[in-house]
A and B are shown apart, each in its own frame.
Chain A
Amino acid sequence: MIPEPDSRPVTTLVVTEVNGIVVRRTVENRQTLAGFLRDGLGLTGTKVSCDLQVCGVCSVLVDDQPVSSCTYLAADIDGRRVRTVEGLSGGERLSPLQQSFVDHFALQCGFCTPGFLMMATALLERNPDPTEEEVIDYLDGNICRCTGYRTIVDAVLEAAARMRSLTNA
């Protein structure tokens, strides 16, 4: 049964921080975070593929937790911090993780890469010294159809080592 339309507003005022920038917008409740980032803020680095939270392409971080932005309400970022692939680099300077992906040729078409970068970022923040098995396990929910997994795992492991040495230096 389709219920009667509710007379109350179907929008939510969202005050959030996206890649360190304060954003205040009224969003439709049905707007997904991926749609808001891409269409509302022009942050098209975040891609959508399966739209079922299976492939990992749309991964972003909300309060440091990885989420599938295709299946996450934009309204839910109210009061929370969002990080997308655009926030990884400092201007033209790639982050150690991004540079490691380049060094290892860890991408071919690149469509899945933003998702892998954000998931790997989440992993390394909680576990700065992961084993190869832990990297594979954590990235299990990300799909690359160019079959570049070996190079991706290598890139994450080397980035982890590089970041540890930077921290210790």
Chain B
Amino acid sequence: MLPAFVLERPGSLEEALGLLDEDSVVYCGGTELLLAMKMGLLRPARLVDLKGLPGLSRIEVADGELRIGATVTHDGVARSPLVAEHAPFLAEVESRVGNARVRAQGSIGGNLCFQEPRSDVTTALYALDGKAELLSADGVTRLLPMEDFLLGPYWTAREDNELLVRVRIPLPAPAGVYLKYQISERPVVGVAAVRDPRSGGVRLVVGAVTDAPQRYDLPADGAADVDAIVGRLEITEDTGGSEEYKRHVTAVHINRALAALNT
């Protein structure tokens, strides 16, 4: 049974921002939040539901960027014609998040704000140079690259009085491959390998096995000392596997991803 709480359903962004404080938690799909509340890890007095805010559910292309509203579901991203046209790599990653129900309920913004370390979305956005657009109750906008937004497991740079309103991806977005090994709803390891559309170089991102995704810029042929890369990773051991096992599986997936990118 969930603990009791007040459910706020603001009708505008301004109203939503005015409801944010240390006793409230931003709520959208609930796929992460409700689980944490069931387990007793969170006991907020108020949930501020963003699903009624039309401005946050849009996907658009403007000023050389793909902009995805924070409340767009994983399925909504995966099936968006705009995303398919401008960032098919992200559409592919989103089409394989969790399971079909998590994709229908969970939002891209909720995924980022919860910052579960085994997020496919975060790994993909590292590879795409994605940025988090935060808006505060004071009307201040902050645009943070993933590296600055993500501070650690379940920890982001978002302040209590801020909302993540959009995810912004610079265009042209790179194409590439995302390979993951997954035995439950979250990946044991996720590896993104994309080609930088400007330099032609390869960006390699290793996600899920460490506290935060690790990014490596490789030459155009994708040549990499994979043993050295995995040897330096600070692997998180959990029910998905031991450190030794995850190091091995990660190396296998890096090699496969780089090979797939070059074929």
Considering only residues 43-100 of chain B, those with a C-beta below 8 Å from chain A are: 43-47, 49, 51, 75, 98-100
Chain A stretch 4-22: residues in CB contact (< 8 A) with chain B: 4-6, 8-10, 12
A71 touches B6 (CB 8 A): no
Q: A10-B5, A30-B4, A65-B75 are in contact. Are A56 and B45 (CB under 8 A)?
A: no
B142 within 8 A of A: no
A138 at interface, CB cutoff 8 A: yes
Are A73 and B7 in touch, CB under 8 angstroms?
yes
Docked Cα-Cα span, A54 to B186, in Å, equals 10
Q: B224 at interface (Cβ–Cβ under 8 A)?
A: no
Q: Mark B193-211, 1 if CB is under 8 A from A, else 0.
A: 0000000000000000000
Tell yes or no: B226 within 8 A of A by CB.
Answer: no
Cβ contact of B101, chosen from A9, A51, A59, cutoff 8 A: A59
Q: Given A54-B184, A54-B185, A71-B30, are A66 and B100 also a contact pair (CB < 8 Å)?
A: yes
Which residue of B35, B43, B46, B105 contacts A67 across the interface (Cβ within 8 Å)? Answer: B105
Report B-chain residues with C-beta under 8 Å of the C-beta of A8.
6
Whether A66 contacts B3 by the Cβ 8 Å rule is: no
Whether B4 lies near A10 (C-beta < 8 A) is yes
Whole-angstrom CA separation of A13 from B246 in the bound complex: 48
Check if B157 is an interface residue, CB within 8 A of chain A. no
Give min CB distance, B109 to chain A, whole Å. 17
Q: A123 to B51, alpha carbons, bound, how many Å?
A: 24
8 Å CB contact of A4 from B45, B75, B104: B45
Size of A's binding interface in residues, CB under 8 A: 35
Q: Which residue of B lies closest to A12 (CB)?
A: B7
Contact B5 A29 (CB under 8 A): yes
Interface residues of B in 100-135 (CB under 8 A from A): 100-102, 104-105
Q: In the complex the two chains form, is A141's CB within 8 Å of B98's CB?
A: yes
Given known pairs A28-B4, A29-B4, the reply for A71 and B104 (CB within 8 Å) is no
Q: Does B259 contact A (CB under 8 A)?
A: no
Q: What residues on B are CB-neighbors of A98 within 8 Å?
A: none
* B35-A71 in contact (CB<8A): yes
User: CB distance A53 to B31 under 8 Å?
Assistant: yes
Provide the bound-state CA to CA distance between A138 and B98, in Å. 11
Q: Are B101 and A141 in contact (CB under 8 A)?
A: yes
Within 8 A of A (CB), among B4-33: 4-7, 23, 30-31
Is B38 an interface position by the 8 A CB rule?
yes
Docked CA distance A122–B100 (Å)? 10
Which residues of chain A from 24 to 62 have a CB within 8 Å of any chain B CB? 28-30, 32, 51-54, 56, 59
12 further contact pairs, Cβ within 8 A, besides A67-B101, A73-B34: A51-B38, A54-B185, A66-B100, A67-B104, A71-B31, A71-B35, A72-B30, A72-B34, A73-B7, A76-B49, A119-B101, A123-B100
In the A-B complex, the 7 residue pairs with the closest CB atoms: A141-B99, A30-B2, A3-B45, A65-B104, A29-B7, A3-B23, A10-B4
28 interchain pairs (CB within 8 A)? A3-B44, A3-B45, A4-B23, A5-B45, A6-B45, A6-B46, A12-B7, A29-B47, A30-B1, A51-B38, A53-B99, A53-B105, A53-B185, A54-B184, A65-B75, A66-B100, A66-B101, A66-B104, A67-B105, A68-B101, A71-B38, A73-B34, A76-B30, A119-B100, A138-B100, A140-B100, A141-B102, A142-B99
